[in-house]
Amino acid sequence: MTSTAHALAPNRAERLVRSAVVLYIALLVAVPLLALLSFGLSGGTHALVEALRSPVARSALWLTVWTSSVVAVLNTLLGTATAWVLVRYKLPGRAVLSALIDLPLAIPTLVAGLMLAVLYGPLTWLGHGLEARGMPIIFAPPGIVLALMFVTLPFVIRAVEPVLLEIDPAEEEAARILGAGPLRTFQTVFLPAIGPAALSAGIRSLGRALGEFGAIVIVAGNIPFRTLTAPVYIFGEIESGTPRAAAAVSVLLLLLALALHGLAGFIERRIGARHA
């Protein structure tokens, strides 16, 4: 073996640096997550089930799962529509809007929650009016949905945009020449291309929504059985010194998040995309 001749083969220093980086990532990421998993599962499934028997925990989990699912679906549909409008229609201020779409990636989630709480809170005519008509947003599930929609806003848009830009106009023209209507064209030309991208981004927004804490904690009000989501419940249990209950719910959410993460990654590798 004459590996010395290989031009870009790592030398000793490079291998040393690599070991250090690998160690850093392992210590920072793998070890704590293993600690969480092992603690959460240490009592066996029985203890896990026992901890989840708590009605508060169950309702918190259920609230998180259904609001996140609603958000994932809305985000997939509306995100695709937004990408469509941004790419294909000439609208004034589009460049600014396109840049603003990334704001949720740059703004602290807590600040996002605060902004929503201000707009939909009792202080503005909007929030006041909605509440007066029996549709409270803040301290209610719709507020949670809005907060989750904010933090996941760019996911689907940014995944679909490049795919839309890459579709060969000739394909679309061919479909039109062959007599396909707008809907049929969308189905045959666009959907197969943007579908997987939108789907994987939708799955990512579900995963993100399941774990969101900062944006929700202000908006939701955290009332047990009504607006207490699972991450906030976990936080409460940590604060009150009952890590067992916190770990049980965490492990459940963590496994779910990892599964979704893996699934989205699988789809992205199949279509050669990358995620935001």
Q: Footprint of other proteins on residues 237-266 (CB under 8 A)?
A: 238, 243, 246-247, 250, 253-254, 257-258, 260-261, 265
Q: How far is Cα 190 from Cα 183, in angstroms, rounded to an integer?
A: 10
The dihedral through the CA atoms of 48, 50, 55, 56 has a sign that is negative
- Site for other proteins (CB under 8 A): which residue of 4, 44, 45, 134? 4
- Site for other proteins (CB under 8 A): which residue of 72, 207, 222, 267? 207
Which tokens go with 48?
A: 């896990």
Q: ∠77-186-177 over CA atoms, to 5°?
A: 165
Q: Applying CB under 8 A, does 178 fall inside the site for other proteins?
A: no
Q: Applying CB under 8 A, does 130 fall inside the site for other proteins?
A: no
Interface size with other proteins, residues (CB under 8 A): 101
Q: How far is Cα 97 from Cα 91, in angstroms, rounded to an integer?
A: 10
Which tokens go with 60?
A: 């918190």
Which residues, numbered 34-63, are part of the site for other proteins (CB under 8 A)? 35-36, 39
Q: Which of 206, 208, 201, 221 is nearest to 144 (CA)?
A: 221
Q: Applying CB under 8 A, does 10 fall inside the site for other proteins?
A: yes
Which residues, numbered 187-206, are part of the site for other proteins (CB under 8 A)? none
Q: Applying CB under 8 A, does 104 fall inside the site for other proteins?
A: yes
- If 0-12 CB within 10 Å is exposed, 13-18 middle and 19+ buried, where does residue 202 land? buried
Closer to other proteins by Cβ: residue 50 or 172: 172
Q: How far is Cα 223 from Cα 232, in angstroms, rounded to an integer?
A: 10
- Site for other proteins (CB under 8 A): which residue of 52, 78, 193, 271? 78
Q: Applying CB under 8 A, does 211 fall inside the site for other proteins?
A: yes
